[in-house]
Amino acid sequence: MTTMLPKLLTTREVAARRGVTRQAISRAVREGRIEPAATLASGAHLFTEDQAESEAGES
C-alpha cells in the first residue's frame, strides 16, 4: 500500500502564495501565529498547502 505524503512548501513559496514577504512569514512563526509542519536541522520551516492558503498569520 502506498501512502501519499502531503506536499511541503518553503517559507519563500508560502510568502509568494500569500503575497507577503518571507520575513512576514518568519515573523508569524516566531510570534506563534503559524505553526510549521516541519523544521529542518538547518532551521528552515516547511508548511502544508493548507497552511499556505490559510489567512491566519498574515501581517
User: pTM of the prediction?
Assistant: 0.80
**Would the pLDDT of 58 be above 70?**
no
User: CA–CA separation, 3 vs 23, rounded Å?
Assistant: 33
Alpha helices by DSSP H, the chain:
11-18, 22-30, 49-53
Per-residue pLDDT of 2-36, as tens digits, reads 788 889 999 999 999 999 999 999 999 999 999 99
pLDDT at 55: 62
| Residue 21: partners with Cβ closer than 8 Å, 6 or more residues away | 15
Per-residue pLDDT of 28-50, as tens digits, reads 999 999 999 999 999 999 999 99
pLDDT at 49: 93
Helix, strand, coil % in the chain, rounded to nearest 5 = 35, 15, 45
